[in-house]
């Protein structure tokens, strides 16, 4: 049986962490998974703290509260300090090294250091760093098929943001490819 996943995505408001979580939820629903998506943010929409909890399950979700996630994406240093230590043993932590530069090490989880902002700029959208990190998480955890996430991208963005579909999909793919490289035996 496939695993269930309890994921935390955290960063500053405006980094798209809530959108990344919502995208996971849409994709999971598309393939018949049970989902809980709980956004959380400070009073400031941009620049304050933001985060979300996403639970992807094959059973009904009993509680949306996560104290020890199986995976996390941290887009900035405060999020790394808060959530890095909480990831369950054997879990995955994706760190946006563009903004979270403090040293962090654990030998009981996979830590993927991803220059998400730089890769986002390379694909033509400085706002796609969240998708780079999400692509890395998806490849490392196999929580959902990448193609399903790509498939729901247009409806999740909506018609008024259709111009962001292509760079976001490319950012997802680049993040997944980078994770593949980082996870290869030769990279260890």
User: 3-class SS at 69?
Assistant: coil
Encode burial over 147-165: b for 16+ CB neighbours within 10 A, e otherwise: eebbbbbeebbeeeeeebe
Per-residue confidence (pLDDT) for residue 43, from 0 to 100: 61
Of 125, 138, 118, the C-alpha closest to 166 is 125
Between CA 5 and CA 172 the distance in angstroms is 19
Per-residue pLDDT of the chain (188 residues; tens, 9 = 90+): 367 999 999 999 889 999 999 999 999 999 999 999 999 876 655 567 799 999 999 888 877 788 899 999 999 999 999 999 999 999 999 999 999 998 899 999 999 999 999 999 999 998 999 999 999 999 999 999 999 999 999 999 999 999 999 999 999 999 999 999 999 876 65
CATH topology of domain 5-187: Pyruvate-ferredoxin Oxidoreductase; domain 3 (3.40.920)
Of 168, 101, 89, 87, the C-alpha closest to 135 is 168
């Amino acid at each position: 049986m496939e695993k269930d996943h309890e994921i935390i995505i955290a960063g500053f408001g405006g980094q798209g962490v809530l959108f990344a979580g919502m995208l996971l939820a849409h994709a999971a629903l598309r393939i018949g998974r049970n989902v809980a998506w709980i956004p959380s943010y400070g009073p400031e929409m941009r620049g304050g703290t933001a985060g979300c909890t996403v639970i992807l399950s094959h059973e009904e979700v009993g509680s949306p509260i996560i104290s020890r996630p199986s995976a996390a994406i941290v887009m900035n240093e405060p999020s790394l300090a808060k959530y890095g230590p909480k990831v369950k043993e054997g879990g995955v932590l994706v760190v946006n090294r563009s903004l979270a530069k403090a040293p962090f090490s654990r030998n009981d989880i996979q830590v993927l250091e991803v220059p998400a902002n730089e890769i986002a700029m390379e694909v033509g959208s400085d706002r796609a760093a969240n998708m780079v990190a999400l692509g890395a998480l998806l490849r490392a955890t196999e929580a959902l098929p990448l193609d399903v996430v790509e498939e729901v991208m247009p409806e999740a963005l909506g018609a008024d943001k259709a111009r962001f579909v292509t760079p976001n999909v490319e950012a997802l793919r680049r993040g997944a490819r980078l994770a593949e490289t980082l996870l290869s035996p030769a990279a260890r």
